[in-house]
Amino acid sequence: MFQTSPARSLAPPLPSFPSLTDALRAYSGDDHINVLYPHRIAAAADSFVRGLPGRTLYAVKANPHPEVLRAAWAGGVRAFDVASLREIDLVQSLFPDAALYLMHPVKSRRTIREGYGRGVRDFSLDCEDELAKILEETNGARDLRLHVRLALPKAGGVMPLAGKFGASAKDAAELLRAARPHAASLGVCFHVGSQCLDLDAYDRALAHARAVVERSGIAIDGVDIGGGFPVAYPDMDHRPWEDYFAAIRASLRAHGFDGLDVLGEPGRAICAAGGATLARVELRKGTDLYLNDGTYGTLFDAGHFAWKYPVRLLRDGPPEPAANTVGFRFFGPTCDSADTMAGPFHLPADTREGDWIEIGQLGAYGQTLATQFNGFHSDHTVIITEDAQT
């Protein structure tokens, strides 16, 4: 179904197993286990490549693991949103012919200079000083594709991204006028916020983009609708991606952007379901479970933002887990009291020390944000080759 990847290998292949149970039986370590389901990632990537209006860029920041990038490539992704020289190095080491987009609005001069030297032509910016940096560090190149980042008056993501990047309507209009003479291609870009549950957020953003373009009096060549596409977490219902694609397509027509180059930057949506953490219960105190992973590891969002994740118990041996469930709170392995995940996470009532818990939807921003604080971390990653439930 999916094309195989021409990616070069950066490291020995990861161990692969047909199921989580097989992975646990083969494991003799003391740390949590990072799990990847490449076929889930490839399937999600394929959905975006086929359904999203315009070109799909995978946002590398969501999970830069080489196996994740390979899976995205297998699903048809041929362009990547990168933010740093290290991300450029990583993608090019795997896919020399991939298209790279530096959509971080604030870049070091070296990143601009060396990025351009390595073939990057697409740059985001949200102020005239950044435009000046880009022009200076590319020696006034005439083949630049520039994207003016807009601040949105109202976003729709569970995690808003406003405040750090984006030009006001007035400043963006002026920036479009300033950039037009230097750009082989000029567009606008925005981000509605991470995990966007509001289907109308993209329409509002495109309406705002049209108003900015009209205010500038400048003809543009493209629009980048950013990311924000949601995935399934407990207590976060969302519409199917196909509904988002259809709504965005209609909004592009309604606001006069059809016929332009359109980009989208899914990150979480492509990789979230393709990763999980297997954490062991070290101790139970009532409805508190102490795990060998926590907020300083792959569960940052579960602690700092109180996000809930799908969980299920794995027990290799009798007795069978209880049929009734209890809402548990999690604690991580560090000495820090902030290493707390309120949940509740619903697991069998007889969950006990030694049980393993699969915490799902951690392919995005899980292993990516993990630290080595207090000496607790895991370098053990496995691939599950079948989408098994055992």
Distance CA 35, CA 200 (A): 34
Low-confidence ranges of the chain (pLDDT < 50): 1-9, 388-390
Which phi and psi (to 5°) does residue 103 adopt? -95, 10
pLDDT of residue 386: 73
Mean pLDDT of the chain: 93
Identify the residue whose tokens are 């199917």: 240
Distance CA 173, CA 184 (A): 18
Assigned CATH for 16-34+272-384: 2.40.37.10
For the chain, the three-class secondary structure string (H helix, E strand, C coil) is: CCCCCCCCCCCCCCCEECCHHHHHHCCCCCCCEEEECHHHHHHHHHHHHHHCCCEEEEEHHHCCCHHHHHHHHHCCCCEEEECCHHHHHHHHHHCCCCEEEECCCCCCHHHHHHHHHCCCCEEEECCHHHHHHHHHHCCCCCCCEEEEEECCCCCCEEECCCCCCCECHHHHHHHHHHHHHHCCEEEEECCCCEEECCCCHHHHHHHHHHHHHHHHCCCCCEEECCCCCCCCECCECCCCHHHHHHHHHHHHHHCCCCCCEEEECCCHHHHHHHEEEEEEEEEEECCEEEECCCCCCCCHHHHHCCCCCCEEEECCCCCCCCCCEEEEEEECCCCCCCCEEEEEEEEECCCCCCCEEEECCCCCCCHHHCCCHHHCCCCCEEEECCCCCC
pLDDT of residue 300: 94
Which phi and psi (to 5°) does residue 342 adopt? -70, -30
pLDDT of residue 193: 85
Q: Check: CB of residue 300 under 8 Å from CB of residue 337.
A: no
pLDDT of residue 145: 98
Distance CA 246, CA 249 (A): 5
Which phi and psi (to 5°) does residue 42 adopt? -60, -40
**Residue 261, amino acid:** D
Distance CA 342, CA 359 (A): 14
Domain ranges of the chain: 16-34+272-384, 39-271
Assigned CATH for 39-271: 3.20.20.10
**Residue 154, amino acid:** K
Closest CA to 216 of 191, 187, 192: 187
